[in-house]
Structure 1
């Protein structure tokens, strides 16, 4: 056996410290009865985990002999273990004693070996050194025998284990004894599978309570936590709600009672300097630091794991998928997953949820990994990794976008089996994809930034991720202007205008479309000119400029027919129909919608077909053909559900409910409108919610349920007022006044508050 200079300390009533290799006997040791170090003064935010751990430690329970608390450095594993161990002893569960051994699994000098740990525990159990056999195997047998002969349960806490090999020899054989382990690794091996308790960062409230508790225990009159609650929350956020980081900041604030919490938060606001500031040095020169804690875990990784740990930080989102990590590292996906799983085993990343192929990293660990990556940027060819990641995202997003655009009978890309799979991937990767647009622009890959923005727009708008849509479109405009590409600039301005239209920022949308139109006319691009005219018409309708909108649509229609662009013609007919309908030219509108419907069916464009049906239903309803309108809305509803288009489903349910009302089917109208209301609230669509509330009020008043109708009308009016839709608000206020007096006999002014769906030109 080689010598190991690491010492294993086992606490107890014994007077022996055991050192691996050489044994130094002192006075005989008594049995250990109270050998635990002091626990934390107060355990904050771990109540659920403490209860879970207590249930596993209970000798009368079925928790098994070994429980391991795992989590990355600084997460509070030892604090939880000691707190729970003290509570278990207080409850009288371990009359045979409670021992503590520090295994120093991540100590730079090397971890404590199992033999040294066993010898130290024998000392604490009262076995004098001179009474121990000479070989490690014999000492292990003696350790197990000592535990086996004790009729009262013994608790052993083994702190900071690095490997299962350190722990396996310490496992009690039989009886009600318990071994509680803490580790930064998942300690499993063939034939050894402890019960695992995973620790994550604290909640924001618990993080604030931890700092406040430390300050008030030091100085009960410290008013800073009460006065600076918002700053306390900021500190917690900057610390990633990591207990070690929070304790460091609490120590700094305790040492300087005049330091405002807001100033401490400001000091931590700079992410680049955050790890350096999360360090505390005591007067005796000892120090604790978050970076040093992470160093211990990182330095134990093999080289290939270190490289992947560094490289995955080039991904801009909060998580990285196995496929994206494989592209970054230029590795096979299966090999990449093996490496990622090893990083997860080391508690440096976590797969969330398990089996998803998505890996997350704590904010402070990410900062640390980024630092390591930048230091090794040349060695890792970090810029090449960024290029590979961007190419991966552009290829996959383009394929997913093809599914959303419905390529009219053409085969879809093989990357995704169907539209649902494409949308699921886009949802999963959304944050990374949005970040990738900005990353591409920063890296000088302007064409990638523009391409990603175009590929993301339909998904982001259709699934109502509108803030993200605006962000990527603005980035695309800037990228195109940076390289001076007027054609790309026009395309980017066009999709920006569409996103502004979706967020109801109509004046800005008109400006964007006018700029698009100007550029396309300068370039002589008639097809682009037609798209810009179509989209400009949409925004003009929303600002009440109906005749200008009709003129724009008719001009676009001429261009579509000039190029024999049947799909563009159908879209423009749909939008022209809406403009005609709001100006009271209902029969012309119905004709336009029916022609668009024919074109959509010709191309098997189910999404366009649904939009045409919805708008046709609105026109039919206004002209009193309610049964035809109901049939159109029901057909559109089927298509919305086929696409999992929740926004469209909410709109169509609202319109269907209104048509059912006017057809005299009041009960079915109420049920339908309640479905619409639920979807609008689920999506946070406040304008559509107001529409549904108004239609519910209208229906309920016809059923003589005046009080309910009044409540819904006032809720709708309040929402419209908050949204700045003052004309419609006035309608509803007037309606509410009528309800207070008597049930109304006419609702003509409310009927025009129906939801409209229009088709933008892509």
Structure 2
């Protein structure tokens, strides 16, 4: 049986299996069918089964394997096979196929009618005669390009069966349909190993390759054609290791050019499918390679195609039917090798041959393609602005846009995350520096909300480079600040310090005190988290002083909250309480109830540490009320965790209260400290127990210049 296709073979056999005749049992209520005489089927059999799939996915092999299994099982007495060459320049026509089948059925050449209709009539007559003799045939029509190409080959009655393979899903054929996907990783490795051992049973590469075979299968995208070609390349070079082939394939300028064994080529196979596309469908297929992520939604596809939604849906459906696209949950994607193929076609548009008759038209097409690409990137950027506005981060009121509420906005951001982060890189490569800088800032709120700090580091690193290349010091300074925050969240403190230092230098040279205060606040947070509370205290104190002068109440409140955390680390609880209460008051004044809840949690820990248990509990209750009003379940959950954590702490003794009032504990005493990570809500993930308050640090990003 075909390796890795057992389930698919079983499905084909199920369709080909003769159907037991059924009719109601006169002795029953009619609900239990009983066997009946031939020709009295209550449920007609499946006359046609069609296997569809991407070029090179193994449709013919599956059809032949299933056909042989059906004959061995006694389903049929014989078979007819024809390759219709449906995607070649000269496909087999219906009349030609009928002539071939009539001759195979024993009709002499001079008895084959000239007219196609007469050939079809004779074909059905011959099949009926065989049925009358109790003989059943399996008719296999391989490589059909359309339902019309096989309609004349339909068997006519319920005795015989027609099995079709096609790169298209033949939905209009009234057939049992099976769309064939690529192999599983395990089956792909088994195919490679089997091919090597079949050629040479002593080939040690098949059994001693370690993970190299798995890597090769992955590089081939688990596509059987690519796997067979790779195996052939290894067979042709017995001294080459699998690891060496993997390295060549991974670094090849074109995988498609590499995957060619002289007789078979992946690109040539894809060419046959692409050439049959209508011009507008081929254009969208090329454009799909420009999408920065692994899949695309309907709205973005419409922007890329510059078509209304109903029109682009029709084109996408056609490309899915041709198995050049895959669709799942209303998102469209390509097999890796198909994407490489589409990318090559796209690049060929951008680099038309010079000094040719079509040079002018090629340059026009390249200009149009570049416009569509920019249009798509702008779509992602502008929609991200609307979505992130719905998050309500940093007290920003919801802005009108495409999203009715926060959940809807988050769902879109989650779906498009790879496209959004990819858009930053794609915009940098395409020279769209404005999109790079602005989108990296817009994504800050979402990526910190979800805790995707690796993504945040990636996009902000790109923004730093592009802003510097563009000669935009304000944008570069903001990007360095945001990168410092991202690195801090990933606990990469030494790198964060360097980023903050660069941001401080730039904002100082620009004379922007407000942004310099933001950087100092972030730097202080990183210093505190890395175990340097005294230095953190100084940074936060300077940040508070700056923001008092600039009059930025939100930044002042954030710096005060973090200042309280630093005071708590240094066991100066009176100052910690004062700073946290002032922060909470400012956030309340600003209507930023989520951050008000956080500052109240900070105050609660400071109050508890100073022995004011009831006041700490009151602060917790106020925090819980604020967090519920914020409407964010993550904020509310974090506040509940803070309250629970406070309840678990041992009440301080009179001696400890006295020591706390003086700003420290007596020698030999130990203060139980809550885990800051335990209540770290919607800005990040738990990172273990830390010294200091259980409340979160409030970091503030820099806005685009």
With normalisation by structure 2, the TM-score equals 0.83
Is 1:350–2:350 an aligned residue pair? no
For the 8 Å contact 1:633–1:656, the answer to whether it is kept is no
For the 8 Å contact 2:58–2:225, the answer to whether it is kept is yes
Farther off after superposition, 100-109 or 560-569: 560-569
Find the aligned partners of 1:629 and 1:659 in 2 and give their Cα distance: 11
User: How far is the alpha carbon of 1:406 from its aligned partner?
Assistant: 4.4
Could you tell me which of 537, 540, 543 is aligned with 1:550? 537
Is 1:76–2:58 an aligned residue pair? yes
Number of residue pairs matched? Answer: 632
For the 8 Å contact 2:606–2:693, the answer to whether it is kept is no
For the 8 Å contact 2:514–2:552, the answer to whether it is kept is no
For the 8 Å contact 1:654–1:755, the answer to whether it is kept is no
For the 8 Å contact 2:604–2:617, the answer to whether it is kept is no
| Alpha-carbon displacement from aligned partner over 1:680-716 (angstroms, at most 9, x marks no partner) | 9xx995734xx5xxxxxxxxxxxxxxxxxxxxxxxxx
User: How far is the alpha carbon of 1:299 from its aligned partner?
Assistant: 0.7
For the 8 Å contact 1:158–1:179, the answer to whether it is kept is yes
- Partner of 1:164, secondary structure, is coil
Is 1:375–2:348 an aligned residue pair? yes
User: How far is the alpha carbon of 1:64 from its aligned partner?
Assistant: 2.2
User: How far is the alpha carbon of 1:502 from its aligned partner?
Assistant: 1.0
Could you tell me which of 395, 399, 402 is aligned with 1:415? 402
Find the aligned partners of 1:533 and 1:376 in 2 and give their Cα distance: 49
Find the aligned partners of 1:684 and 1:204 in 2 and give their Cα distance: 34
For the 8 Å contact 1:570–1:595, the answer to whether it is kept is yes
Could you tell me which of 198, 202, 208 is aligned with 1:221? 202
Q: What residue is the counterpart of 1:361 in the other structure?
A: 334
Q: Give the direction of change, closer, same or farther, for the CA distance of 1:129–1:659 in structure 2 (3 Å limit).
A: farther
Find the aligned partners of 1:409 and 1:216 in 2 and give their Cα distance: 65
Q: What residue is the counterpart of 1:492 in the other structure?
A: 479
Q: Give the direction of change, closer, same or farther, for the CA distance of 1:577–1:685 in structure 2 (3 Å limit).
A: closer
Could you tell me which of 216, 236, 240 is aligned with 1:255? 236
| Alpha-carbon displacement from aligned partner over 1:629-653 (angstroms, at most 9, x marks no partner) | 764675577579x4464xx677556
For the 8 Å contact 1:102–1:159, the answer to whether it is kept is yes
Q: Give the direction of change, closer, same or farther, for the CA distance of 1:303–1:583 in structure 2 (3 Å limit).
A: same
Q: Give the direction of change, closer, same or farther, for the CA distance of 1:753–1:210 in structure 2 (3 Å limit).
A: farther
User: How far is the alpha carbon of 1:369 from its aligned partner?
Assistant: 1.3
User: How far is the alpha carbon of 1:410 from its aligned partner?
Assistant: 4.2
Q: What residue is the counterpart of 1:732 in the other structure?
A: none
Q: What residue is the counterpart of 2:149 in the other structure?
A: 166
Q: What residue is the counterpart of 1:424 in the other structure?
A: 411
Is 1:528–2:520 an aligned residue pair? no
For the 8 Å contact 1:319–1:359, the answer to whether it is kept is yes
Q: Give the direction of change, closer, same or farther, for the CA distance of 1:500–1:123 in structure 2 (3 Å limit).
A: same
- Partner of 1:180, secondary structure, is strand
Could you tell me which of 203, 206, 218 is aligned with 1:237? 218
Is 1:197–2:178 an aligned residue pair? yes
- Partner of 1:98, secondary structure, is strand
- Partner of 1:165, secondary structure, is coil
For the 8 Å contact 1:314–1:385, the answer to whether it is kept is no
Could you tell me which of 137, 140, 149 is aligned with 1:157? 140
Is 1:52–2:25 an aligned residue pair? no
Could you tell me which of 454, 468, 477 is aligned with 2:464? 477
For the 8 Å contact 1:67–1:181, the answer to whether it is kept is yes
Find the aligned partners of 2:14 and 2:622 in 1 and give their Cα distance: 60
User: How far is the alpha carbon of 1:503 from its aligned partner?
Assistant: 0.5
Is 1:295–2:271 an aligned residue pair? yes
Could you tell me which of 72, 81, 87 is aligned with 1:90? 72
- Partner of 2:79, secondary structure, is strand
Q: What residue is the counterpart of 1:8 in the other structure?
A: none
Find the aligned partners of 2:66 and 2:684 in 1 and give their Cα distance: 43
- Partner of 2:264, secondary structure, is strand
Flag the structure with more relative contact order, 1 or 2, with Cα contacts below 8 A and sequence separation at least 6: 2
Is 1:464–2:464 an aligned residue pair? no
Q: What residue is the counterpart of 2:282 in the other structure?
A: 306
* 1:581-620 alignment runs, 5 A limit: 581-620=568-607
User: How far is the alpha carbon of 1:117 from its aligned partner?
Assistant: 2.5
Structure 1 alignment gaps of length 5 or more: 1-41, 282-286, 665-672, 692-727, 729-751
User: How far is the alpha carbon of 1:247 from its aligned partner?
Assistant: 0.3
For the 8 Å contact 1:600–1:608, the answer to whether it is kept is yes
Find the aligned partners of 2:60 and 2:629 in 1 and give their Cα distance: 56
Find the aligned partners of 2:599 and 2:472 in 1 and give their Cα distance: 35
Find the aligned partners of 2:531 and 2:115 in 1 and give their Cα distance: 93
Q: Give the direction of change, closer, same or farther, for the CA distance of 1:660–1:630 in structure 2 (3 Å limit).
A: farther
- Partner of 1:434, secondary structure, is helix
Find the aligned partners of 2:474 and 2:595 in 1 and give their Cα distance: 27
Q: What residue is the counterpart of 1:43 in the other structure?
A: 2
Q: Give the direction of change, closer, same or farther, for the CA distance of 1:100–1:581 in structure 2 (3 Å limit).
A: same
Find the aligned partners of 1:595 and 1:444 in 2 and give their Cα distance: 46
- Partner of 1:206, secondary structure, is helix
User: How far is the alpha carbon of 1:469 from its aligned partner?
Assistant: 1.0
Q: Give the direction of change, closer, same or farther, for the CA distance of 1:756–1:328 in structure 2 (3 Å limit).
A: same
Q: What residue is the counterpart of 1:120 in the other structure?
A: 100
| Alpha-carbon displacement from aligned partner over 1:621-675 (angstroms, at most 9, x marks no partner) | 54445754764675577579x4464xx67755654543454599xxxxxxxx9xx
Could you tell me which of 510, 513, 518 is aligned with 2:500? 513
For the 8 Å contact 1:228–1:261, the answer to whether it is kept is yes
Find the aligned partners of 2:163 and 2:693 in 1 and give their Cα distance: 65
For the 8 Å contact 2:620–2:639, the answer to whether it is kept is no
Farther off after superposition, 651-660 or 513-522: 651-660
Find the aligned partners of 1:610 and 1:48 in 2 and give their Cα distance: 55
Find the aligned partners of 1:280 and 1:100 in 2 and give their Cα distance: 27
- Partner of 1:472, secondary structure, is helix
Q: Give the direction of change, closer, same or farther, for the CA distance of 1:613–1:130 in structure 2 (3 Å limit).
A: farther
Find the aligned partners of 1:145 and 1:593 in 2 and give their Cα distance: 93
| Alpha-carbon displacement from aligned partner over 1:383-425 (angstroms, at most 9, x marks no partner) | 3233222222221222222222448574513222222222222
For the 8 Å contact 1:59–1:177, the answer to whether it is kept is no
User: How far is the alpha carbon of 1:85 from its aligned partner?
Assistant: 1.6
Could you tell me which of 555, 564, 586 is aligned with 1:568? 555
User: How far is the alpha carbon of 1:329 from its aligned partner?
Assistant: 3.5
Q: What residue is the counterpart of 1:188 in the other structure?
A: 171
- Partner of 1:687, secondary structure, is coil
Find the aligned partners of 1:313 and 1:127 in 2 and give their Cα distance: 51
Could you tell me which of 174, 189, 203 is aligned with 1:208? 189
* 1:740-751 alignment runs, 5 A limit: none
* 1:3-18 alignment runs, 5 A limit: none
Find the aligned partners of 2:529 and 2:499 in 1 and give their Cα distance: 15
User: How far is the alpha carbon of 1:77 from its aligned partner?
Assistant: 0.9
Find the aligned partners of 1:556 and 1:684 in 2 and give their Cα distance: 23
Q: Give the direction of change, closer, same or farther, for the CA distance of 1:643–1:159 in structure 2 (3 Å limit).
A: farther
Find the aligned partners of 2:600 and 2:112 in 1 and give their Cα distance: 89
Find the aligned partners of 2:7 and 2:623 in 1 and give their Cα distance: 50
Could you tell me which of 413, 437, 441 is aligned with 1:454? 441
User: How far is the alpha carbon of 1:176 from its aligned partner?
Assistant: 4.7
- Partner of 1:510, secondary structure, is helix
With normalisation by structure 1, the TM-score equals 0.77
Q: What residue is the counterpart of 1:328 in the other structure?
A: 304
